[in-house]
Chains A and B, each alone.
Chain A
Amino acid sequence: MRYTWTTHSWVVFFMAGAEGREARMSIGLTGLLLVAGGGALGGMGRLALANLVARRLGAAFPWGTLAVNLSGALLMGLLAGVLGPSAPGGPGPLWQLLAIGLLGGYTTVSSLSLQTLTLWQQRRIHAALANLLATLVVGLLALVLGWWLAGGPA
């Protein structure tokens, strides 16, 4: 790997072995920091909401993760409707901060997978399926609703 300093960013060149061709890509340091900063805020927001929901509704069912993913999907739909998904030529800084960073880091699949597996292992098959299906179906509908509310062509 070879690092070259430019005025705006570090440009990282590296070789990728796809059919012996040389792949070259540039990673803006600014973009990476925006994504990481958004991800930090998103993760802390997820913790706050999950804790709040668990205090109110208990920890027998993963309501916290469900609330996070459904609200995150709705907000992602709104954001995609307002900003438009990543434009040609790469995503802009607002998209990097809010979509890839904040909402990408706020929502989670790892907790969903683990909690579904745990419910299954506790032989709470219906709860496991309900958790998975509610996240997928209501989550995708929330995303479409957000997109539609923000004027997206859905």
Chain B
Amino acid sequence: MIAWRAYAAVGLGSALGTALRYLVSLAMPGLAGPAFPWATLAVNALGSWLIAAFAAYAARRTSGRMARWQPFLVAGFCGGFTTFSLFGLETLQLLEQGRAGLALAYVLLSVVLWLAGAWSGHRVGHRAAARA
């Protein structure tokens, strides 16, 4: 793919993913309380599921159709939707508030959900490709 097309696809996907993450962060404090960064936890787990599901599906569908969506969906949407820097900042904020136990719980729960999300997504994508 021509380089500028890849950059345009990633930029567009990342803009959409980032905007959706922002909307989730606005919607979730009202539902779950602002004490714990549920929104970032949710988007990072969901994004991990989605990227692994797509990668596993695309790996078995070797026609070019899926590969064309990869820059937009993987590096673009999933990359922009999930965030490491805000996760780190939220952890630091919990520590600053003297809630070290909650900060540790946030980090551990995050890592478990990221990996569980990727693992589950991989299985689902793999099976979906086998059925298709």
B1-26 contact mask (Cβ, 8 Å, vs A): 1 or 0? 00000110011111111110111011
Total of A-B residue pairs, C-beta within 8 Å: 189
A10-42 contact mask (Cβ, 8 Å, vs B): 1 or 0? 000000101000010101000110011111111
Find chain B residues with CB under 8 A from A94 CB.
Answer: none
A85 with B93, Cβ < 8 A, contacts A35-B22, A47-B10, A114-B48 known: yes
Binds B, one of A1-9, A53-61, A102-110: A102-110
- Among B48, B82, B89, the one with the most A-chain Cβ atoms within 10 Å of its Cβ is B89
B30 touches A16 (CB 8 A): yes
A96-134 contact mask (Cβ, 8 Å, vs B): 1 or 0? 100111011111111111101100000000000000100
- Which B residues contact A (CB, under 8 angstroms)? 6-7, 10-19, 21-23, 25-27, 30-31, 44, 47-48, 50-52, 55, 71, 74-76, 78-89, 91-93, 96, 107, 111, 114-115, 117-119, 122
